[in-house]
Amino acid sequence: MEVILADCVHHSLRQFMYRNAIFMCERLCSEFPSETNMQLLAGCFLHNNQAYAAYHILKGTQMAQSRYLFAISCFQMDLLHEAEAALCPPNEPGAEIPNGAAGHYLLGLIYRYTDRRRSAIQHFQQALSIDPLMWCAYEELCILGAAEDASSVFGEAAVLSIQKQYLHHRSENLQTLNDDLNSASARNNNSDDVRTRQLKHTQSNNLRDIPTNYQGTFNLGGAASQIVNGGSNISFYNTPSPVAAQLSAIAPPPLCRNTQQNGSSINSLGADSCSRSTVNSIIQAPRRKFVDEGKLRKISGRLFSDSGPRRSSRLAGEAVANTNVNAANNGTTNSTKYLGGSKLNSITLRSMAVRKGQSFANENIDEGIQNEAFDDSCSNASLSVSSSSSSSGNRILEQGATKSVGGSLTNDAKIINGASEILGLLRILGEGYRLSCLFRCQDALDVYLKLPYKHYSTGWVLSQVGKVYFELVDYLEADRAFSLARHASPHNLEGMDVYSTVLYHLKEDMKLSYLAQELISTDRLAPQSWCAMGNCYSLQKDHETALKNFQRAVQLNPRFAYAHTLCGHEYVALEDFENGIQSYQSALRVDSRHYNSWYGLGMIYLRQEKLEFSEHHFRMAFQINPRSSVVMSYLGTSLHALKRSEDAMMMMEKAILADKKNPLPMYQKANILISLERFDEALQVLEELKEYAPRESSVYALMGKIYKRRYMHEKAMLNFGLALDLKPSAADVATIKAAIEKLHVPDDIEDNL
């Protein structure tokens, strides 16, 4: 009964029938209460987006896997201190982190969101050292600005680590296979009657004992059932990412997968269990349980709007595949692509079949799916368990073992070559992502161009390229890259929040409205969708409605830093500075390197004339992104307001060199020169500026002010008139008209008035 119920639960999970899985698993736990079965029930609830149920089920449990699942439940419920205590029990300071690399990764996220950056970096690095294919850990290091060069992280040491773990895993299973052969040989020495009784006894024991040895291994983003014999529990790459965020479609395939002997019997039940239980039960994690990590995060900005820069705080995606089980005679499984990279949950087996002759070079890396051919494991398993009385049974087993061992040399070469190819791809992707997180945008573009076309043309890479162009303030190229990303992966919302800001700056109201409607219809529970809708209303100057949309994005994912920043922009547009400060600070609590929020705080304090605070926050933004021309411009402005004109002039020169097409630093430089009474130099700068911004009314108004101070009234009137013809804002119109009225009033008298 226990076998049937457990098998039904796993079958329901594979078919994404979570309610049925929960119901049947409750029957299983009622009839056979054990912590292992409770783990299975908790995993069912996690996949049904019911973390609170898993929390109460696992509270107080002691097994390592139970503590890991409990920590995931706490993390989803934002109970970070309880999650930390589950992974690192206070009364056991030297206890091992459960689930290896996945446990270290989850603990790194906990430390990151509790503002312990150094500890977070250590655990992300530890996760990478255990599993070099854990891309999500490297991504987090890039976000924290602490990632090492990708060539060192995904280098030869990583290849050797993969090979070592694979060989260790294979040797363990070959030893188990030898034990089975010896057991079968001993049984054949007995009489026919004894063999018959042993066959019946073995069949009965297998059906009864398998659930006792069963341990359900669940990870956020995927789950694998492990059937453990002899109390051993060996995991090979059991580290899918606990981040259900939308991620790359370029995750490499797993290295190997084992089959499993599951107590085959001579009746139909045994045959069915052989075909269905020889593969891991893969459970898909519910969407957006960690929509913030991810994340989260990262590179975008609205630097030329009236409300400040907008920056995406989230690069992550969701790529979860299901494991399909083929016919029993085929014995072929499909590898599963997990969040944060391709991870493999292995099982400890009583027999093993080494996969045959398929080269990694010929596998479909783009989709992260790899069909692996195995020997006839179900047939061999049935022969081993039933202990066939004929000597041919032993010969078949021995032939299977010989075939497995004989193919090991070929598999060693394939593993090394496959790992090298995968890590070579990750080196390019990792280095490009690291450089983009450091805002070395042109270098990042050069690295991405080294990718093969089939990888460059994927949605994730094109979205990253779009974000890089956005940081370079090249909105037309960013629009083109994001459009290609939408065409390549219309279902993927990665980077669409930044794309909506690109269209905001281009004032493409029709395209922005269409994009927002498409995203809402695709996934109305994604924060990116509501960010796009908010940008659409913000472009129409409906700031109150825009704010409501951005608040909806925050509600859906409180760890989505960009949504907090956009709320801050709208509060500033509504001149609600107090709430604006709170929104920017909330974004920084999620991502301390979210430079746009530092910039937003600097703008608020500049408008409030809190000049020291303003200079501090602009400088923080500058330290994070030292290549932003706009950040440098406003930092120079705050320095000038603090009467540090020389420092301000040097910063403006840097800003002009960073982006000669940006009119802001040249305009501010002219203002500084006017304050220093260097009028000729100021006029020269403004004349040059007219070439870049010929329809900017403020340029002509400033030139009119200079000519007025030099008593060149005709030229002053001409420039004031040109400024009015360019239809400036109402406030600027009033200022220009006031200057015209006082055109013949000397400056010293005007100041007294």
Sequence-distant (≥ 6) Cβ neighbours of residue 552 within 8 angstroms: 530
Distance of alpha carbon 706 from alpha carbon 187, whole angstroms: 105
pLDDT digits (tens, 9 = 90+) for 715-731: 889 988 988 888 888 88
In the chain, the amino acid numbered 148 is E
Distance of alpha carbon 594 from alpha carbon 240, whole angstroms: 27
What is the predicted pLDDT for the residue at 158? 85
pLDDT digits (tens, 9 = 90+) for 34-49: 999 999 999 999 999 9
Kindly tell me the burial class for residue 529, based on how many C-beta atoms sit within 10 Å of its own C-beta (0-12, 13-18, 19 or more). Answer: buried
Distance of alpha carbon 710 from alpha carbon 713, whole angstroms: 8
Helix 2-14 / helix 268-276 crossing angle, nearest 10 deg:
40
What is the predicted pLDDT for the residue at 180? 56
What is the predicted pLDDT for the residue at 75? 95
pLDDT digits (tens, 9 = 90+) for 232-284: 333 333 333 333 333 333 333 333 333 333 333 333 333 343 333 333 333 33
**Which of 380-384, 401-405, 645-649 shows the highest mean pLDDT?**
645-649
Choose the weakest-confidence range: 565-569, 579-583, 733-737: 733-737
Q: How many CA atoms are closer than 13 Å to the CA of 648, on its beta-carbon side?
A: 23
Sequence-distant (≥ 6) Cβ neighbours of residue 461 within 8 angstroms: 248, 250, 429, 448, 451, 455
Decide if pLDDT at 65 tops 50.
Answer: yes
Average pLDDT over residues 675-683: 89
Distance of alpha carbon 563 from alpha carbon 549, whole angstroms: 9
Judge contact between 207 and 277, C-beta under 8 A: no
Distance of alpha carbon 538 from alpha carbon 728, whole angstroms: 20
Decide if pLDDT at 367 tops 70.
Answer: no
CA angle 312, 313, 314 (to 5 degrees): 100
What is the predicted pLDDT for the residue at 408? 54
What is the predicted pLDDT for the residue at 330? 39
Average pLDDT over residues 650-667: 90
Decide if pLDDT at 346 tops 70.
Answer: no
Decide if pLDDT at 21 tops 70.
Answer: yes
Share of the chain above pLDDT 90, in %: 48
What is the predicted pLDDT for the residue at 403? 46
Helix 441-448 / helix 408-437 crossing angle, nearest 10 deg:
150
In the chain, the amino acid numbered 60 is G
Distance of alpha carbon 132 from alpha carbon 155, whole angstroms: 9
End-to-end CA distance of the chain: 95
135: pLDDT confidence band, cut at 50, 70 and 90? Answer: very high
CATH code reported for the domain at 497-592: 1.25.40.10
What is the predicted pLDDT for the residue at 476? 95
CATH code reported for the domain at 1-145: 1.25.40.10
Average pLDDT over residues 511-537: 95
Instruction: Tell me the whole-structure pTM to 2 decimals.
Output: 0.68
Distance of alpha carbon 348 from alpha carbon 169, whole angstroms: 9
Q: How many CB atoms lie within 10 A of CB 41?
A: 22
What is the predicted pLDDT for the residue at 496? 95
Task: Indicate where the chain has its CATH 1.25.40.10 domain(s).
Answer: 1-145, 497-592
What is the predicted pLDDT for the residue at 122? 94
More confident residue, 481 or 418: 481
For 24-78, give the DSSP string. Answer: HHHHHHHHS--HHHHHHHHHHHHHTT-HHHHHHHHTT--SHHHHHHHHHHHHHTT
